[in-house]
Amino acid sequence: MYLFWKRTSLGTIQISQEGICEFVSSYCEKPFKCTQATLTSADNTLFLVVTRPASVEPSAISELETRLGGAFSEIGFSVRISWVETTKSAFVPDEKLVSIVSKPLLWAIAFAFLTLLLKEGVSALLWALFWGCVIISGFLFFRSSKGAELLRKLRSRAGR
């Protein structure tokens, strides 16, 4: 998004909000990050929102404010900084859900069922689900110990 700054005889001057945030973040050390910037054209004031951890010393904050004020005063802006404390969230994504959702085979099967439902209707979908369950059950049975024993008996009768 571009922020209006000034109108001149040649047109308007606009500044990229993302560019300002990247510029401020490059000035900041690791725990600080600029998340938002707004600009008032009336008094050339640049309002910045910078995140910081709660454990940062006040001297680091005032040093960064001084450095940013000096850098932007050369361009013609006065700077106002709003500080936002960040906390570590307790949210941890479920690893199983993430691994299931990121599998392309799952998405292919889901869209195949959706296509079958839309093209052929509910009865065809139910028949496809029935035969799919039969095949998967048979596959799982022959992978079990009882299925392996049955296969061994069939092979021995066939002479293998």
Distance CA 63, CA 68 (A): 9
Query: Which residue, 39, 131, 46, 54, is CA-closest to 85?
Result: 54
Q: Which helix (H) or strand (E) holds 156?
A: helix 145-158
Distance CA 45, CA 124 (A): 65
| 3-state DSSP assignment of residue 41 | coil
pLDDT single digits (tens) 26-50: 877 777 888 888 887 678 788 899 8
Q: pLDDT above 90 covers what percent of the chain?
A: 11
Considering only residues 69 and 27, tell me which one the structure prediction assigns the higher pLDDT: 69
Distance CA 48, CA 17 (A): 10
Above 80 in pLDDT, residue 22?
yes
| 3-state DSSP assignment of residue 87 | coil
Q: How many CB atoms lie within 10 A of CB 130?
A: 10
**pLDDT, position 68:** 87
- 71: buried, middle or exposed (CB in 10 Å: 19+, 13-18, 0-12)? middle
Task: For the chain, list the domains and their CATH numbers.
Answer: 2-86 (3.30.300), 95-158 (no CATH)
**pLDDT, position 6:** 67
Distance CA 76, CA 94 (A): 48
